[in-house]
A and B are shown apart, each in its own frame.
Chain A
């Protein structure tokens, strides 16, 4: 089913460039256009406000029009944030994100490969069903037993405590998206490799891996975003300041400096900037991949 529909997707994309064009039709969508531009303004106003305010000092913030560019731009807010141990929190977030995504995507890829290649086997069908079920369950609701598990494993207040459940939570969607992509690899290719004496492991590395690389990047970015921005797991599974990840650090910083709005917004800027830079680089991949993964 999935193959048929995603195949149809590429086909229709091709025809849309053809004789008759959807383009012309959609060009006339004034109503949608108005909604899109209006919503763009709604999206951009707070973002613009974050950027300009983060460069103002407090007096300027109170005396100036909130949307005016800073007359005397200052980096003092950023200095304050950086001196509040943000490099440490940044490092923690990097460790947690990389420590989750690399193993999660690797094992999800293996599972997706097995599910596609071993189709027909009862065991793998069951495994697939289990992962699909995982998609429908709000996994955050299981946080209390996860907390209990982490305590019993003596992992409480460590970065590993965040990493392990994050890997588990990332698996269902990753397997779904990756298996849809592996299904698109022509079976003849697998067959000809098999005839040449390749084992499953060789086919996984030599065939499935290179052909599904875009999906792997997409799944990594998507899950990476979720982990980087995650709040509940760090909140519940860690406690010491030196184990804080960025979202948690943001929250405590805001509690401390709630009146110093420029500083608070500078902290928002600093935690978001790395992601925006990554987005600028990997945007095409992320957007097209998400579309392929969700819109069926």
Chain B
């Protein structure tokens, strides 16, 4: 769907015609083989493998035995599952709702070209460089009620047991996620804003539209696909917030921040129940695909296929 439309419109028709003949023959196809092979082995095969394993009994070491629907029955009737799904969506939606408006605002601002904005951007993007493990460890230390920042500053408000209380812990996860990813999404919006033709703003200001009006009637609609790209990354990405939550809260306190990805890890690699863990993994893949498709549908036109996922 995307490939045939590849010819750039600037190309004269004559040249395009001459080239399509060359392109159609297959001698270049072999160049795609190495990438295809390794992606199939470690990407596609495991995708079906996880479905297969969800119907087996395996402890991670011994033999793999068929188990029929036993895993599916036990996972789907597990009273803890709705909570895990709920927490996953809660973190997904809250972190989307925090990140999107802020990234939009900041990205629009950074799209300006003053020098100090460049400087701002350099500092701003440092969180992009840190590993989730490093970020989680830093916040764990920073929020420690006895040894952390609050204790050091002797500010009562800051010395709460941030990671020890259910609602606070969830809020902390959302905040840390935003801290980590807002710079990245601001960058995406910055790029998007810079591609909006200036003539549109020109026309609008001649018509007397104010800045806020311009933001809502030009910037926002023009950024439609950028918003979809960014939201897809946020939403699908939030399904894989494993390392951050694993290091920061390990799913706690209790199961307050036990998201699906962590649930999969705990069932599989701590309880050695690979079958039920695979069921969770299948659910993760299905939720991810469904959300990606839904967001693409929201995009409306087929152009979205270019933006999707990327």
Is B55 part of the contact surface with A, judged by Cβ < 8 Å? no
CB proximity to A under 8 Å, residues B7-64: 7-11, 15-16, 18-20, 22-32, 34-36, 38-47, 49-50, 52-53, 60
Are A29 and B123 in contact, CB atoms less than 8 angstroms apart? no
Are A231 and B310 in contact, CB atoms less than 8 angstroms apart? no
Report the bound CA distance from A275 to B123 in whole Å. Answer: 14
Are A296 and B130 in contact, CB atoms less than 8 angstroms apart? no
Residues of B within 8 A of A117 (CB): 22-23, 28
Are B197 and A236 in contact, CB atoms less than 8 angstroms apart? no
Shortest distance between the CB of A78 and any CB in chain B (Å): 15
Q: A110-B32, A121-B24 are in contact. Are A276 and B194 (CB under 8 A)?
A: no
Is B80 part of the contact surface with A, judged by Cβ < 8 Å? no
Report the bound CA distance from A200 to B250 in whole Å. Answer: 51
Are B198 and A22 in contact, CB atoms less than 8 angstroms apart? yes
Q: A168-B38, A295-B188 are in contact. Are A33 and B109 (CB under 8 A)?
A: yes
Q: A191-B15, A232-B242 are in contact. Are A272 and B130 (CB under 8 A)?
A: yes
A47 (CB) vs chain B CBs: closest residue: B126
Shortest distance between the CB of A144 and any CB in chain B (Å): 5
Is B77 part of the contact surface with A, judged by Cβ < 8 Å? no
A142 (CB) vs chain B CBs: closest residue: B46
Is A84 part of the contact surface with B, judged by Cβ < 8 Å? no
Are A125 and B3 in contact, CB atoms less than 8 angstroms apart? yes
Shortest distance between the CB of A1 and any CB in chain B (Å): 5
Are A143 and B281 in contact, CB atoms less than 8 angstroms apart? yes
Shortest distance between the CB of B129 and any CB in chain A (Å): 5
Residues of A within 8 A of B289 (CB): 136-137
Are A168 and B1 in contact, CB atoms less than 8 angstroms apart? no
Q: A23-B114, A29-B211 are in contact. Are A145 and B45 (CB under 8 A)?
A: yes
Residues of B within 8 A of A250 (CB): 131, 133-134, 137
Most B CB contacts (10 A, CB to CB) among A4, A65, A190, A294 go to A294
- 0/1 string, B270-289, CB within 8 A of A gives 1: 00001001100110110011
Residues of A within 8 A of B129 (CB): 225, 272, 275-276, 279
Are A29 and B109 in contact, CB atoms less than 8 angstroms apart? yes
Are B142 and A43 in contact, CB atoms less than 8 angstroms apart? no
Residues of A within 8 A of B187 (CB): 287, 290-291, 294
Query: How many interface residues does B have (CB within 8 Å)?
Result: 136
Report the bound CA distance from A254 to B39 in whole Å. Answer: 35
Shortest distance between the CB of A127 and any CB in chain B (Å): 5
Q: A110-B34, A275-B129 are in contact. Are A28 and B198 (CB under 8 A)?
A: no
Is B86 part of the contact surface with A, judged by Cβ < 8 Å? no
Q: A120-B20, A144-B53 are in contact. Are A39 and B182 (CB under 8 A)?
A: yes
**CB within 8 Å of A: which residues of B?**
1-11, 15-16, 18-20, 22-32, 34-36, 38-47, 49-50, 52-53, 60, 102, 105-106, 108-114, 120-134, 137-142, 144, 147-149, 152-153, 179, 182-183, 187-192, 194-199, 201-202, 205, 211, 214, 225-226, 229, 232, 236, 239-240, 242-243, 246-247, 261, 264-265, 268-269, 274, 277-278, 281-282, 284-285, 288-289, 292-293, 303, 305-310
